[in-house]
Structure 1
Amino acid sequence: MRVCLDATPLDTAHRHRGIGRFVQGLVDALAGAPFPIVQLRRSWAPASPKNLMEVRRAWRPPKPGVRLQWLWNELRLPGEVRATGCHVFHATDPQGLTPGRGYATIATAYDLAHLRFPREYYDGASVDTRLGLRRMEANYRRADHLIAISEATKREFVELLGIPPERISVVYPGFDPARFAPGEASATHGIPVPEHFFLYVGAADPRKNLRGMLEAFALVKERVPESFVLAGKLPPAEATAVTGWIAALGLGERVVLPGYLPDPVLGALYRAATAFVFPSHYEGFGLPILEAMGCSCPVITSTQSCLPEIAGDAAVTVHPDDTEALADALRRVSENESLREQLRARGKARVAQFSWQRCAAETLKVYEHVAGRE
């Protein structure tokens, strides 16, 4: 059996986001597979010195619009996949699924945030953006099998897209502690990190609930010594909104916005923070809470979507709409060293259950099942 794995998210803007982290972890873990796996990469992609997996480089337009991307997927991609001699094609980019023509198809199912939060995605969206979201739904429906990254995500695809549950397998992504290994003592890149701080890592779209988090912090800012570090690259519109919330809440001296940070720097911040705070309304998996746990950082997160599933009993959980409860959680974790130690210990035990080796082994079982070898 041969498998073609779409690794093109490593060659696009996805590489700095959750999809890119997922694909890199999976590619590295599958390098020792018992049957050939061919990476499909963009034609300009650099070779990876860490991975000896066979690579096929496929030309495609550098910045295709939705319609050109669709034409490429329908007309060119099937030939590229067939040229690998594969029996199974695994699409890790939800926009990059080809119709199966002589091979079975698998797609990784991340989330359906655009259906849960339509105003956020559709209000003011271009025709091409709307077409792209609809095409993504069609791609998922026509795949022979889906790999969901959490049980919550599987339920979403069953409920919202009507996909039979037997066509969906759940395989959790892993956590790679080497990405966040301690570096030099000055590894904070000159960021003016406060002595005591809460940490958030991620975007600022409404479902992430940054405004609610800052409102909760404003309620307790006079009762805790911590400031807040909000790490992550924000588009101009989101950055403007966040700085506006900070000013309106009187938090200007208590919030640091360092922007995008490389993993060693993030690791240093996770290890130094009083707690990682992630009160999101909706996630497909919630990888940052595993990153925090893996770096011995106490976690405060949400009771919604997949987050309780991933956190288990290793986090303080609150409803994201309960601002007072979130404020109380910030205060309790700040004041209670015993609670922080308990969360660190539980977090280390919890994150040990999520490895890329386990992810790879379970993914290989799905390949064999879909190829009819099970």
Structure 2
Amino acid sequence: MRVCLDATPLDTAHRHRGIGRFVQGLVDALAGAPFPIVQLRRSWAPASPKNLMEVRRAWRPPKPGVRLQWLWNELRLPGEVRATGCHVFHANDPQGLTPGRGYATIATAYDLAHLRFPREYYDGASVDTRLGLRRMEANYRRADHLIAISEATKREFVELLGIPPERISVVYPGFDPARFAPGEASATHGIPVPEHFFLYVGAADPRKNLRGMLEAFALVKERVPESFVLAGKLPPAEATAVTGWIAALGLGERVVLPGYLPDPVLGALYRAATAFVFPSHYEGFGLPILEAMGCSCPVITSTQSCLPEIAGDAAVTVHPDDTEALADALRRVSENESLREQLRARGKARVAQFSWQRCAAETLKVYEHVAGRE
């Protein structure tokens, strides 16, 4: 058997977000597969120096719109995939699935946020954006099999797209301990952070609930010594909204916005933080909570979507709409060292259950199943 693995998210803006982290981890872990796997890339570069896979560069339009992208997927991509001689094509870009023409197709199912939060995605959206989301749904429906990154995500695809559950396998992403290896908490790489702080890592779109988190912090700011560090690259519109909320809540001197941070710096902040706070309304997997646990950082997260599934008993969980409960969670974790130690210990045990080796082994089983080799 021969597999073509779509690694093109590593050549796009996805590379610094959850999709990119997933693809990077999977590509690294599959390097020792018992059968040939070819990376499909937009560049010649391998995903990492330690990866030994064959790389095939697929030409794409430099800046394709949705309609040109669709034509490329329908007319050019099948030939690119067939040229690898593969039996199975695994698409990791939701927009980049090609209909199987002599090979089976698998797509990674991340989430269906645009169907759960249609106003956020469709209000004011361009025709191309709307078409792209519809094409993504069609791509998922026509795949021979899906790999969902959580049980919650699998339920979403069954409920919202009507995909039979037997066509979906759940394979959890892993956590790479080397990426955020525990070390000295003081090594914050020159980032000017307060001595005591809560940490958030991610974007600021409405489902992330940053405004609710800041409102909760405003309720307890006089009762806790922590400030808040909001890490992550924000588009201009989101940055404007966040700074507006900070000003309106009187948090100007208690919130730090360092922007995008490379992994060594991010790991240092996880290790130094009082707690990682992630009260999201909706996630496909919620990788940052594993990153925090892997760095011995206590976690406060949400009771919604996949987050209780991933966190298990290793986090304080609150409903994202309950601002007072979130404020109380911030206060309790700040004041209670015993609780923080308990969360650190449980987090260490929890994160050990998620490995890229396990992810790779289960992904290989899906490849064999779809190829009819079970």
The two structures have a TM-score, normalised by structure 1, of: 0.98
Where structure 2 has 5 or more consecutive residues not aligned to the other structure, the ranges are none
Q: Secondary structure at the match of 2:251?
A: coil
Deviation at 1:181, TM superposition (A): 2.8
Deviation at 1:73, TM superposition (A): 0.5
- Structure 1 residues 91 and 250: alpha-carbon distance in aligned structure 2, compared to 1, 3 A threshold: same
**Cα contact 1:230–1:257 (8 A) shared by 2:** yes
- Cα distance in structure 2, aligned partners of 1:267 and 1:148: 27
RMSD: 1.2
Deviation at 1:184, TM superposition (A): 8.0
- Cα distance in structure 2, aligned partners of 1:348 and 1:62: 43
- Structure 1 residues 186 and 221: alpha-carbon distance in aligned structure 2, compared to 1, 3 A threshold: closer
- Cα distance in structure 2, aligned partners of 1:186 and 1:303: 32
- Cα distance in structure 1, aligned partners of 2:241 and 2:48: 38
Deviation at 1:105, TM superposition (A): 0.2
- Structure 1 residues 195 and 20: alpha-carbon distance in aligned structure 2, compared to 1, 3 A threshold: same
**Cα contact 1:182–1:264 (8 A) shared by 2:** no
Deviation at 1:61, TM superposition (A): 1.2
Equivalent residues, number: 374
Deviation at 1:187, TM superposition (A): 4.5
Q: Secondary structure at the match of 2:179?
A: helix
Deviation at 1:177, TM superposition (A): 1.2
Deviation at 1:186, TM superposition (A): 7.0
- Structure 1 residues 360 and 46: alpha-carbon distance in aligned structure 2, compared to 1, 3 A threshold: closer
- Structure 1 residues 43 and 164: alpha-carbon distance in aligned structure 2, compared to 1, 3 A threshold: same
Where structure 1 has 5 or more consecutive residues not aligned to the other structure, the ranges are none
* Counterpart for residue 285 of structure 1: 285
CA offset digits 1:40-68 (Å, max 9, x no partner)? 01145467422110111111112211011
Deviation at 1:339, TM superposition (A): 0.2
CA offset digits 1:18-48 (Å, max 9, x no partner)? 0000000000000000000000011454674
CA offset digits 1:125-169 (Å, max 9, x no partner)? 000000000000000000000000000000000000000000000
Deviation at 1:188, TM superposition (A): 2.6
Identity %, equivalent residues: 100
- Cα distance in structure 2, aligned partners of 1:47 and 1:153: 26
**Cα contact 2:9–2:20 (8 A) shared by 1:** yes
Deviation at 1:185, TM superposition (A): 7.6
Deviates more, 1:320-329 or 1:181-190: 181-190
Q: Secondary structure at the match of 2:97?
A: coil
- Cα distance in structure 1, aligned partners of 2:22 and 2:370: 21
**Cα contact 2:185–2:272 (8 A) shared by 1:** no
Deviates more, 1:187-196 or 1:330-339: 187-196
- Cα distance in structure 2, aligned partners of 1:328 and 1:250: 19
* Counterpart for residue 112 of structure 2: 112
Deviates more, 1:68-77 or 1:57-66: 57-66
